[in-house]
Structure 1
Amino acid sequence: MTRATVIGAGVAGLCVATELVRRGHDVTVFDPAPMPGPHHCSWWAGGMLAPFCEGETAEEPVVRLGQVSADWWESQGVPVTRRGTIVVTPGRDRRELDRFARRTRGHSLLDAGALAALEPDLAGRFDRALHVGEEAHLDPRAALRHLRTRLETDGVRFVAEQGRADGLTFDCRGLAARDALPALRGVKGEMAVLHAPDIRLTRPVRLLHPRFPLYAVPRADGHVMLGATQIESDDRRRRVRSVLELLSAAYALHPAFGEAELVEIGVDARPAFPDNLPRLIRRGDTIHVNGLFRHGFLLAPALARMAAELAFDGCKPEFYHEDHG
């Protein structure tokens, strides 16, 4: 049994630890908090397992590797909802839907009646939409808690203060790893959680808009997570303008959001490399697992498997980058 240390217990660190345990290794995880929470970037994620929609702007590996994520999360006992994604746009921006359709795949075109059949609360709101049927979503906070609890049950030690590492080290600190990975940059994302019992969505809905794109992800007990802002900054302050744009876009999706309770506003900076693709970088006995950008829950399972292959199988998997110091 090989000893391994994982630094960081966000989505990347927990997925790496899960893959190491699956291979029979003795794992210790360093993380300052007793459970996943707001100090993890992945705490603020939407939880969409939407590789085809991400293909609008993401590179081919994101689409290809992201297609296995829903199966992986289910295999860990995490509830995954497989109802696809709905993509809509206001009538005045019809060309946005056409552009999105050209740049993506895996979707079918819906008329107003077909959209109403899938999402009755959107009836009469849009005259056409796309349904990306093979996509899924999960509750990211519940998923993080589940993985941590399961790892503890499997004998993984979680330690609050980082000490001397035993064996190989997997550095999964996200943006905090810029001390070792200066190419990392922060990409700010803001989100809101609403309690909106008057509108019931059963799958994520993406509203395309040239200036204020939005995704709305249903969560338990009438809650909906709203997100979309993407700003080239690691500033974690909550800005009024961004929140106003987010809520205005939600109102455009459905006026019932105007009567919703604003439960939470959150912001964090996601770690990204210049090409917005993750990287595995080995320096001696340390493997850096980083740069998941906005694809944490979508790509972390594949990246964790690749990190283990790099460490223990003697191969250089996809996303491996040579260490140039």
Structure 2
Amino acid sequence: MRVAVIGAGVMGLTTALALREQGADVEILERSASLAAEACSRFAGGMLAPWCEGESAEPLVVRLGQEALDYWPRHVPAERLGSLVLAQRRDAPELDRFARRTDRFERLDEAALGELEPDLAGRFARALFFREEGHLDPRETLKLLAAKLEAAGVPIRFGVDADANAPAADRIVDCRGLAAQDRLPDLRGVKGEMLILRCPDVSVSRPVRLLHPRFPLYIVPRGGGVYMVGATSIESGERSRVTARSMVELLNAAYALHPAFAEAEILEIGSDARPAFPDNLPRIRRDGDRLMVNGLYRHGFLLSPALARMAADIVMNDVSFPEVTR
């Protein structure tokens, strides 16, 4: 079976890989000139944290997201060092609220936190440790997935508009993200802003979520003293502008985690809009000749392995998955 996958973000690449593993003859069509140049995947945090996400996400996200913990280490370098959730003493009720809404964590006191992350010793009285969770580098992951697909005989054709150049395929899987609003009118954008900082004076080895009533923050290590700091969540499809307010809040929150971030070098400022349906849950829909896979919201790397598996089973085996095809 010949299958064309439209979009070379994380959803398109994982779907193409799942289809190839089931024996399909696959090609990927990407309208931009380079890998993920227009995909929100490039600004992702890369946290593989299904149980942490349960604080605000539906149980479906927690369940499907667990597949990512085994999937990614099979294909790319991915850390399984766990996730930390912290709050300053004055925000201790936020930590208790987070604990009530999640599970699969251990409670750490000040001493245990210091043993796990020495640079945070003495700064926080309590923490939640989600030992089974992990993280990856999104941009490096996209490059490695593309190389893996190329080695498997799956070409990526850049600079191709699939609407203007109808692909010669038996099936089409549309993974365009927010660009698919032309076929998915209930899809909306949720803007996220992020910073990439270099701060060699801070050594943190796992993702840290710092809770705050107004601007909760996460910091994800990228190695070599580099950290991704994010992320805001704004109801907007605007994709390129980082506001002064968001930048100040992100920097203030990073400073609250560790004062050494005040001297960090700002390497990059980024913004994009995540594709989401009204309930923030993913969908796989048929639209004419296309199978639409979309609405991963801020869970792209967490949910794409499960959604790719489902999409491939629908295309190749006509399997039904009511939880995402409603």
TM-score range, shorter chain: over 0.9
The answer to whether the Cα contact below 8 Å between 2:197 and 2:226 also exists between their aligned partners in 1 is yes
Structure 1 unaligned segments of length 5 or more: list them.
Answer: none
Amino acid at match of 2:149: L
C-alpha distance in 2 between matches for 1:318 and 1:217 = 34
The answer to whether the Cα contact below 8 Å between 1:35 and 1:145 also exists between their aligned partners in 2 is no
Match of 2:130 among 117, 129, 132: 132
Confirm whether residue 275 of structure 1 aligns to residue 275 of structure 2: no
Aligned to 2:191: 188
Amino acid at match of 2:55: E
The answer to whether the Cα contact below 8 Å between 1:205 and 1:217 also exists between their aligned partners in 2 is yes
Amino acid at match of 2:166: R
Confirm whether residue 83 of structure 1 aligns to residue 86 of structure 2: no
1:19, distance to aligned residue in structure 2 (A):
0.2
Confirm whether residue 211 of structure 1 aligns to residue 214 of structure 2: yes
Aligned to 1:315: 319
1:312, distance to aligned residue in structure 2 (A):
2.0
Amino acid at match of 1:257: F
Encode CA deviations 1:51-89: one digit per residue, 9 max, x unaligned. Answer: 00000010001111111102111122x011111001100
- Between stretches 276-285 and 128-137, larger displacement belongs to 276-285
C-alpha distance in 2 between matches for 1:200 and 1:21 = 40
5 Å matches for 1:43-54?
43-54=42-53
Amino acid at match of 1:109: R
Aligned to 1:164: 166
C-alpha distance in 2 between matches for 1:251 and 1:127 = 17
Aligned to 2:176: 173
Encode CA deviations 1:212-265: one digit per residue, 9 max, x unaligned. Answer: 100000002110000020000011211111111111111111101001101000
Q: CA RMSD in A?
A: 1.1
C-alpha distance in 2 between matches for 1:190 and 1:20 = 32
Confirm whether residue 300 of structure 1 aligns to residue 304 of structure 2: yes
Encode CA deviations 1:164-204: one digit per residue, 9 max, x unaligned. Answer: 22110000000000000000000000000000100010100
C-alpha distance in 2 between matches for 1:81 and 1:238 = 29
SS of structure 2 residue aligned to 1:58: coil
Q: 1:285 to 1:87 in 2, by over 3 A?
A: same
What's the TM-score once normalised by structure 1's chain length? 0.96
The answer to whether the Cα contact below 8 Å between 1:38 and 1:44 also exists between their aligned partners in 2 is no
5 Å matches for 1:20-35?
20-33=19-32, 35=34
Match of 1:233 among 213, 216, 236: 236
Amino acid at match of 1:180: R
C-alpha distance in 2 between matches for 1:271 and 1:74 = 26
